[in-house]
């Protein structure tokens, strides 16, 4: 999965950033040097878009955007990213109208699409599906969310937004709130944040706690074998006054087999003005979106609300990733 595709010829001048021809499947692929590189390119993309709107860096390149699950932001920001760089997109957002409905396998669909394109973005309901797609494809594959597994590009844009808003990551206290069991964004973000000196608070109903494999990474990891400080709690009021980042998630209704259970937990956390009054003056509220009831609309006008900035940043980060895997960054 992490290996450069065997059949690729990599010109010497592309050896530098290490992304050319690569799949982006997990945040585990990123260390601080790679993060700095992607964020630097994303910053350049922002400047370029603000000045000129678009460029021709990826002219002649085609992205296959293959979505087996609903998406608004991830799908359209990848499309916008490709188009703003002068490339084109094959959008497959309705797999029910593709040969998938006729029973075509994921490997065959991927091999078909790579015959027409230069890079494949895939979202799929099954954990591990993006890695499977990458295994069969010779062209780079980017994971846009694989079931309850990972959502690496979301975590990258989340981190980029934290840096933009707070100017640093080291030393921050980050609380993640809501559905930590099924929320793939918090799995990826946690695994990415262990690259920094961060303290975690995991706030959820008992039945939606962070999976043990993610907690294991917090307890001990390559960068810090002794692990990071963290707490597991149910009441957000216990931490709201101390956190620098409050990362709120939607309860993932589509992952529940018993909807009565979903109904029991769905509205347990609502960030409203009263809660925000107890938060620090310099902090941010994040959400990968879509929100259901987790954040009141009145909070949108609070300067600490960063979720719309996350959306915009997603496009810059995805531009950086596409340009990098296609060897044009």
Q: 63 vs 144, which CB is nearer to ligand ASP?
A: 144
- The pair phi, psi for residue 271, each rounded to 5°, is -85, 115
Instruction: For the CB of residue 78, give the shortest distance to ligand ASP in the complex, in Å.
Output: 12
User: Among residue numbers 39 through 78, which ones bind ligand ASP (CB under 6 A)?
Assistant: none
Q: 21 vs 145, which CB is nearer to ligand ASP?
A: 145
Instruction: For the CB of residue 307, give the shortest distance to ligand ASP in the complex, in Å.
Output: 11
Interior CA angle at 206 toward 246 and 28, to 5°? 55
Asked if 318 is part of the footprint of ligand ASP (rule: CB under 6 A), the reply reads no
Whether 141 and 133 have beta carbons less than 8 Å apart is answered as: yes
Q: 61 vs 151, which CB is nearer to ligand ASP?
A: 151
The 210-249 contact track toward ligand ASP, x by CB under 6 A, reads ----------------------------------------
Q: 124 vs 184, which CB is nearer to ligand ASP?
A: 184
Instruction: For the CB of residue 288, give the shortest distance to ligand ASP in the complex, in Å.
Output: 4
Instruction: For the CB of residue 145, give the shortest distance to ligand ASP in the complex, in Å.
Output: 5
User: Among residue numbers 255 through 294, which ones bind ligand ASP (CB under 6 A)?
Assistant: 288
What is the 3-class SS of the chain, one letter each residue?
CCCCCCCCCCCHHHCCCCCCCCCECCHHHCCHHHHHHHHHHHHHHHHHHHHHCCCCCCCCCEEEEEECCCCCHHHHHHHHHHHHCCCEEEEECCHHHCHHHHCCCHHHHHHHHHHHCCEEEEEECCCCHHHHHHHHCCCCEEEEEECCCCCHHHHHHHHHHHHHHHCCCCCCEEEEECCCCCCHHHHHHHHHHCCCCCEEEEECCHHHCCCHHHHHHHHCCCCCCCCCCEEEECCHHHCCCCCCEEEECCCCHHHCCCHHHHHHHCCCCCECHHHHHCCCCCCEEECCCCCCCCECHHHHHCCCECHHHHHHHHHHHHHHHHHHHCCCC
Q: 21 vs 288, which CB is nearer to ligand ASP?
A: 288
Q: 132 vs 249, which CB is nearer to ligand ASP?
A: 249
- For ligand ASP (CB under 6 A), the number of binding residues is 6
> Residue 162 and residue 203: Cα distance in Å, rounded?
19
Q: 185 vs 268, which CB is nearer to ligand ASP?
A: 185
Instruction: For the CB of residue 251, give the shortest distance to ligand ASP in the complex, in Å.
Output: 9
Asked if 191 is part of the footprint of ligand ASP (rule: CB under 6 A), the reply reads no
Residues forming the active site: 73-74, 102, 123, 151
Instruction: For the CB of residue 15, give the shortest distance to ligand ASP in the complex, in Å.
Output: 33
The 168-187 contact track toward ligand ASP, x by CB under 6 A, reads ----------------xx--
The count of other CB atoms within 10 Å of the CB of residue 233 is 14
Instruction: For the CB of residue 220, give the shortest distance to ligand ASP in the complex, in Å.
Output: 26
The count of other CB atoms within 10 Å of the CB of residue 182 is 20
Asked if 145 is part of the footprint of ligand ASP (rule: CB under 6 A), the reply reads yes
Write down the residue that tokens 């700095």 correspond to. 36
Asked if 250 is part of the footprint of ligand ASP (rule: CB under 6 A), the reply reads yes
Asked if 151 is part of the footprint of ligand ASP (rule: CB under 6 A), the reply reads yes
| List of residues contacting ligand ASP (CB under 6 A) | 145, 151, 184-185, 250, 288
């Amino acid at each position: 999965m992490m290996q450069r595709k065997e059949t690729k010829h990599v010109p010497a001048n592309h050896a530098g950033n290490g992304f050319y021809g690569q799949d982006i499947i997990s945040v585990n692929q990123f260390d601080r040097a790679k993060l700095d590189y992607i964020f630097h390119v994303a910053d350049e993309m922002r400047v370029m878009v603000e000045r000129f709107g678009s460029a021709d860096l990826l002219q002649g390149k085609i992205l296959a955007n293959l979505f087996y699950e609903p998406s608004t932001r991830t799908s359209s920001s990848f499309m916008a990213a490709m188009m703003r760089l002068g490339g084109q997109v094959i959008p497959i957002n309705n797999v029910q109208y593709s040969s998938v409905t006729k029973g075509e396998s994921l490997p065959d669909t991927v091999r078909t699409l790579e015959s027409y394109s230069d890079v494949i973005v895939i979202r799929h309901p099954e954990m591990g599906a993006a890695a499977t797609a990458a295994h069969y494809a010779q062209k780079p594959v980017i994971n846009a969310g694989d079931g309850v597994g990972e959502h690496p590009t979301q975590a990258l844009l989340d981190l980029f937004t934290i840096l933009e808003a707070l100017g640093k990551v080291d030393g921050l206290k980050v609380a993640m709130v809501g559905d930590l069991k099924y929320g793939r964004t918090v799995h990826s973000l946690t695994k990415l944040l262990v690259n920094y000196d961060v303290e975690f608070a995991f706030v959820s109903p008992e039945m939606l706690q962070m999976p043990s494999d993610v907690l294991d990474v917090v307890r001990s990891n390559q960068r810090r074998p002794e692990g990071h400080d963290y707490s597991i709690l149910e009441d957000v009021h216990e931490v709201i006054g101390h956190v620098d980042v409050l990362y709120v998630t939607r309860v993932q209704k589509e992952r529940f087999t018993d909807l009565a259970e979903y109904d029991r937990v769905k509205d347990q956390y609502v960030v409203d003005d009263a809660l925000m009054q107890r938060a620090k003056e310099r902090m941010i509220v994040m959400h990968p979106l879509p929100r259901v009831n987790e954040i009141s609309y009145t909070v949108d006008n609070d300067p600490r609300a960063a979720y719309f900035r996350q959306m915009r940043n997603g496009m810059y980060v995805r531009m950086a990733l596409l340009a990098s895997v296609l060897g044009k960054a």
